[in-house]
Amino acid sequence: MLKPFTDQSSRPSQEPGWDEHLSFGYRETDALWLTRWSAGSGWEPGQLYEHQGATLELSPGANVLHYGQAVFEGLKAHRTREGKIVLFRPADNGRRMRSSAARLAMPAPPIDTFLRAVEAVVRANVRWVPRTGKGSFYIRPVLIGTGEVLGVAPADKYLFFVFGSPAGQYMGGDRVIVLSAAHRAAPHGTGAAKAAGNYAACLRSQKIAKSLGYTDALYLDASENRFIEELSGANFFAILRDGTLVTPQLGSILPGIVRDSILTIAREQFGWLALERKLAIDELLSDAVEAFYTGTAAVLSPVTTINYHGVDHPIGDGKPGPRTQELLQALEGIQLQEQPDPWGWVTEVTL
Ligand SMILES: Cc1ncc(COP(=O)(O)O)c(C=O)c1O
């Protein structure tokens, strides 16, 4: 059930301290935004609904339940020290949703609809955006095929909705494990799309990794089982002995927005040599002095140990490296408007 959102001016303010120890989890806030698409009429204008107690009604025949037409996005709103609410490269999330949707034969909202929905959700939930340094308001746009099917075919109806939850640190651990018998994506598959099914395919590996004491699995390529791809929900980087920053080239990995930002900062702000190329696990283990993973939720976290074939390999001296730290500071400085933003990545939400 969905009830139209009513203005929040009459709502009680939050209990003091609600944002003290935020985890990364689903939490109902005040409002979500939703619109529908049908083959005959295209996108409806869309509107805000109450998030508390919101549920979606789906036909048992909905495509998403059988054939998995589902793509999503993740981005964050931050509260700056000056009290502004800012988004990081939101149009890039809108563009990526469009390319993910195209891969799964789905219609996607135009970028301006995507941005309007994200901003409306932030504006309506502004009391849920944590104080600076306490976390962020994590925004989740989702697109699903709701039209009924029995045979394999695209749906003729879709839902696009956006909700958000206040969130603290995601992942954060610095030990990862290569599970050679599990791949995340294959060449020409769906690895570059933010398709829900990619994440379902990672759950078993993630569970095994955690049960062995690692934060996540580090996937190798499906053709040769030799080249680094990424983690279940983050891109991977290494800094080699000669100072080069290396990250796997695009293809079957998710084109991360933080990945692109780090490459840009490294090249244009720091003047480092930063390459997108194949990185073999053997080269990584013998030549890397620092490693880290990046993502909207994960931000930028050091990797200090990689387990391969049952052996823990320390990266560098087994501690988070200085250049990893430099990149994190530069990224967060831009995201929180504490450093200049030469690429125009940060958008203020007008309240
Ligand atoms: C599989 C995967 N790789 C990489 C990323 C990083 O992408 P972004 O930097 O756009 O958040 C994500 C999402 O955060 C992801 O789910």
Question: What's the pLDDT tens digit per position in 282-314?
Answer: 999 999 999 999 999 999 999 999 999 999 999
Mean pLDDT of 108-137: 96
For strands 274-276 and 305-308, give the pairing: unpaired
pLDDT score at 181: 87
Which atom of ligand 1 approaches the CA of 93 most closely? 10
Instruction: Report pLDDT for 15.
Output: 65
Q: Where are the domains of the chain?
A: 8-167, 175-335
* Both structure tokens of 150: 């029995």
Task: Compute CA distances 3 → 9, 26, 30, 169, 302, whole Å.
Answer: 17, 19, 11, 31, 43
Distances (CA, A) of 339 to 120, 257, 345: 27, 19, 12
Superfamily assignment of 175-335 in CATH?
Answer: D-amino Acid Aminotransferase, subunit A, domain 2 (3.20.10.10)
Looking at residue 237, what is its pLDDT?
A: 98
d(CA 215, CA 240): 22
pTM of the model: 0.97
Active site residues: 194
Residue 135, Cβ density class (10 Å: 0-12 exposed, 13-18 middle, ≥19 buried) = buried
Q: Is 256 in the pocket of ligand 1 (CB under 6 A)?
A: yes
Residue 219 amino acid letter = Y
- The preferred substitution site among 136, 190, 235, 263 for testing ligand 1, maximizing ligand atoms within 8 Å of CB, is 235
Is the CB of 295 inside a 6 Å radius of any atom of ligand 1? yes
Question: 70 has which bridge partners?
Answer: 144
**pLDDT digit string (tens) for 95-110?**
999 999 999 999 999 9
Give the atom of ligand 1 at the shortest distance from the alpha carbon of 194. 16
Q: Which pLDDT value is given to residue 172?
A: 80
- For the purposes of burial, counting CB atoms within 10 Å of the CB of 21, is it exposed (0-12), middle (13-18) or buried (19 or more)? exposed
**% of the chain residues with pLDDT over 90:** 93
Rg (alpha carbons) of the chain, rounded to whole number: 21
Reported as a pLDDT band with limits 50, 70 and 90, residue 26 is: very high
Render pLDDT for 169-208 as a digit per residue (tens, 0 to 9). Answer: 887 899 999 998 899 999 999 999 999 999 999 999 999 9
CATH for 8-167, among 2.60.40.650, 3.30.470.10, 3.10.450.750, 3.30.70.260?
A: 3.30.470.10
Ligand 1 centroid vs 115 CA: distance in angstroms? 19
Q: Is 177 in the pocket of ligand 1 (CB under 6 A)?
A: no
148 alpha carbon to ligand 1 midpoint, in Å? 30
